[in-house]
Amino acid sequence: MRIGVFDSGIGGLTVFSALHNALPSHDLIYLGDTARVPYGTRSAETVTRYSCRVASYLWQLQVEAIVIACNTATTYALETLQKTAAPLGIQVFGVIEPGVEAALKQPHTASIAVIGTPGTISGGAYQAHLARVAPEVTVTATACP
C-alpha cells in the first residue's frame, strides 16, 4: 500500500518514522510543505487550501491513504480532505484522535494540557475531541507560537 504523509514542515517526520516502523512493507511518501511553513499562524481557509493542494499532489502519486501529520492541518482540513478523498477510495487520517488516545492511556489522567500553534489551539479540535471522549478530564489549552 502506498501512503502519503504530510506536514507543513519536518515535524511530521516523527509520524512518518512511527508509520515506517509499524508498516515496514508499505510504500511511504513524505511531503514537508517547507515553502509555506508554518501553517500554525495561518487562517483556517488558508490551511485548508494548502492541505488540499498537498493532498492533490499526493493523489497524483497514486497514494491509497493520506496521513496528515500536522496538528493545524488536521484541525482545519481533515474533514474537507476526507469528504474529497472518499469518492476516490482514499482514506485520510489526522493526528488528533491518536494524540488524545495516547494522552488518555497515561495513568491518573484527571487533567490534560494541550500546547500547540495558535491555529491548533484556536481551532479547538483537541479540546472538542477530549470533551467528547473524556468529559471528566479537565483540559487546559495554550498556544505556543
At 59-78, the pLDDT tens digits run 999 999 999 999 999 999 99
* Entry pTM: 0.95
Indicate whether 11 pLDDT > 90: yes
138/116 same-domain check: yes
One-letter amino acid at 126 equals Y
18/80 same-domain check: yes
69/135 same-domain check: no
CATH of the domain at 121: 3.40.50.1860
28/8 same-domain check: yes
Indicate whether 95 pLDDT > 90: yes
> Which residues span the domain enclosing 43?
2-95
Alpha-carbon distance of 72 to 78, in angstroms, equals 10
88/105 same-domain check: no
Tell me the three state secondary structure of residue 139.
Answer: strand
Give the total number of structural domains in the chain: 2
What's the Cα-to-Cα distance from 85 to each of 39, 88, 89, rounded to whole Å? 21, 5, 6
49/87 same-domain check: yes
Domain's final residue, options 58, 79, 95: 95
13/79 same-domain check: yes
